[in-house]
């Protein structure tokens, strides 16, 4: 029996390293048994696959996360970010504060998500997007999870299609991948039953793709999920992508246990690396895999580049979701620290825009006399 599983595992690695599609049994065989030898083999196959696609380049974006308010009553068991109105860690940002931070940082991308609340209802969020677009025509606005889109539609008495269309017209270019959690009805009932579940999440992303809005996809793991459920998530996503084609990037999110909750530990670094490698091998039709450092840790995220990831997300500036759940990583990384981290991992750092396109290297301050585009290559 073991020999048979090993043969399927070997075949899966061979096909995966060549960017060929794994059949279901091969995908499941990747996670059938975790041993040191298998872990190394997974990493090697995923590295070969990402090298075929990206060589030794690893991208990052100069971005900031904007979370207008953390008030939310959905009660997802894993979330430490959400607060009730009177909680000590509840906060509500004002428009001027948000616009001021953008003016100060001038990021390439703004990643905007918040809680489900009426302090920042749909109309206010829509207006924020309009103002950002108006003041920063080049800013890439990646905003609102499928969970928020569903909530906006319900509370503003509009269809989800209307909400997506209006947001796009106002300036939203892509949707982030949050709220997917893990595509398991078992875990949905246990952990986030007050918001949309897997089927609705996929439906809304496919609706966005139909409207020309590209999206990301996440998977939360390490909070009581099984390896089989993780692989199932990847297979569902792969099938959805075959149908609608608008997923740009997949981001595995390592669970942060926070304090006094149902688990005391999140996934180990090796588990996170194995998950990254499996995503690279199974998701043959999604180009980018992110190593998300606020949740995995900077070193594990950098190692993830050798386990199939090609992107480190961004400099972020002020991460809140992982940090309110006890993450000990920095809240943001300076550009220099990001490029240094990528170099230390053996890759060539490339700064990108919100669509994963390399952007020309900026000349240092004081040397921008011409301000004209140059033919200078990115690293
Ligand atoms: O949906 C909540 C997760 C997500 C915890 O699209 C937690 O580029 C770990 O989706 N431990 C929001 N995870 C973050 C997100 C994201 C992040 C970076 C980039 C992109 C992108 C998307 O964070 C939520 C939920 O799944 N989350 N609590 C926790 N304790
Ligand atoms: Fe609210 Fe999102 Fe936290 Fe769930 S994960 S409680 S929807 S902020």
In a domain, 379, yes or no: no
Ligand 2 center–CA 83 separation, angstroms: 9
Give nearest CA residue, ligand 1 atom 17: 178
**pLDDT cut 90: percent of the chain above it:** 86
Which pLDDT band, with edges at 50, 70 and 90, does 4 fall under? Answer: low
pLDDT exceeds 60 at position 65: yes
Provide the pLDDT confidence category of residue 368 given band limits of 50, 70 and 90.
very low
Q: Is 253 among the domain residues?
A: yes
Please check whether residue 8 lies inside any domain of the structure.
no
Q: What is the mean pLDDT of residues 361-369?
A: 53
| Cβ of residue 321 lying under 6 Å from some atom of ligand 2 | no
**Residue 360: band (very low, low, confident or very high) from pLDDT cuts 50, 70, 90:** confident
Pocket lining: 126 vs ligand 2, CB cutoff 6 Å: no
Q: Which domain holds residue 194?
A: 51-366
Mean pLDDT of 136-156: 98
306 lines ligand 1 (CB under 6 A): no
Q: Which sign, positive or negative, has the C-alpha torsion 321, 323, 328, 334?
A: positive
Tell me whether residue 104 is in a domain: yes
**9 within a domain of the structure (yes/no):** no
Ligand 2, residue 72: give the atom nearest the CA. Answer: 1
What is the number of structural domains in the chain?
1
Residue 149 domain-assigned?
yes
Ligand 2: nearest atom to the Cα of 147: 7
Interval 128-152 mean pLDDT: 98
What's the whole-number average pLDDT of the chain?
93
Domain assignment of residue 24, yes or no? no
The CATH number for 332's domain is 3.20.20.70
Residues 66 and 321 sit within 8 Å (Cβ to Cβ): no
**Is the minimum distance from the CB of 144 to ligand 1 under 6 angstroms?**
no
Three-state DSSP class for residue 351: strand
Sequence-distant (6+) residues with CB within 8 A of 325 are 78, 79, 80, 81, 256, 257, 258
**Residue nearest ligand 2's atom 4 by CA:** 76
pLDDT in tens, 28-63: 999 999 899 999 999 999 999 999 999 999 999 999
**Which ligand number lies closest to the CA of residue 116?**
2
For ligand 2, pick from 72, 87, 120, 201 the residue to mutate: most ligand atoms within 8 Å of CB.
72
Q: Which ligand is nearest to the CA of 195?
A: 2
pLDDT at 376: 34
Identify the CA nearest to 288 among candidates 315, 308, 316, 314.
Answer: 308
Cα–Cα nearest to 115, from 157, 144, 77, 156 = 144
Give CA–CA dist 132/99, Å, rounded. 7
User: DSSP string spanning 109-134?
Assistant: EEEE---S-SSS-HHHHHHHHHHHHH
Q: For residue 260, is it within any domain?
A: yes
Q: Is the Cα dihedral 314, 320, 322, 323 positive or negative? A: positive
The 3-class secondary structure across 216-241, one letter per residue, is EEEEEECCCCCHHHHHHHHHHHHHHH
CA 175 to chain centre: 10
Q: Give the pLDDT confidence of 87-127 residue by residue, as tens digits.
A: 999 999 999 999 999 999 999 999 999 999 999 999 999 99
The lowest-confidence range among 158-167, 206-215, 217-226, 328-337 is 328-337
């Amino acid at each position: 029996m073991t020999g048979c599983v090993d043969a399927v595992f070997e075949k899966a690695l061979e096909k995966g390293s060549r960017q060929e599609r794994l059949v279901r049994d091969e995908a499941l065989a990747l996670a059938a048994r975790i041993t040191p030898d298998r872990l190394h083999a997974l990493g090697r196959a995923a590295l070969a696959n990402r090298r075929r696609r990206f060589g030794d380049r690893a991208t990052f974006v100069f971005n900031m996360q904007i979370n207008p308010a953390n008030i939310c009553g959905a009660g997802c068991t894993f979330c430490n970010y959400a607060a009730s109105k009177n909680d000590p860690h509840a906060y509500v940002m004002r428009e001027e504060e948000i616009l001021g931070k953008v003016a100060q940082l001038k990021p390439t991308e703004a990643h905007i998500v918040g809680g489900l609340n009426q302090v920042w209802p749909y109309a206010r969020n829509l207006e924020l997007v309009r103002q950002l677009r108006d003041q920063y025509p080049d800013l890439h606005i990646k905003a609102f999870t499928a969970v928020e889109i569903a909530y906006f539609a319900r509370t503003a008495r509009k269809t989800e299609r209307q909400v997506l269309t209006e947001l796009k017209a106002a300036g939203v270019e892509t949707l982030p991948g949050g709220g997917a959690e893990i595509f398991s009805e078992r875990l949905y009932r246990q952990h986030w039953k007050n918001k949309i579940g897997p089927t609705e999440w996929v439906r809304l992303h496919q609706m966005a793709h139909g409207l020309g809005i590209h999206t990301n996809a996440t998977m939360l793991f390490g909070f009581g999920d099984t390896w089989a459920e993780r692989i199932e998530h990847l297979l569902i996503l792969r099938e959805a992508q075959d149908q609608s084609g608008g997923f740009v990037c997949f981001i595995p999110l390592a669970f942060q246990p926070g304090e006094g909750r149902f688990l005391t530990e999140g996934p180990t670094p090796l588990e996170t690396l194995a998950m990254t490698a499996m995503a690279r091998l199974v998701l043959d039709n999604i180009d980018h895999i992110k190593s998300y450092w606020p949740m995995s840790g900077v070193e594990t995220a950098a190692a993830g580049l050798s386990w199939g990831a090609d992107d480190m997300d961004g400099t972020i500036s002020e991460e809140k979701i992982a940090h309110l759940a006890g993450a000990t990583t920095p809240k943001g990384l300076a550009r220099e620290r990001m490029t240094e981290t990528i170099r230390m991992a053996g890759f060539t750092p490339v700064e990108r825009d919100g669509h994963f396109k390399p952007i020309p290297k900026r000349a240092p301050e004081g040397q921008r006399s011409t301000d004209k585009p140059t033919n200078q290559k990115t690293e």
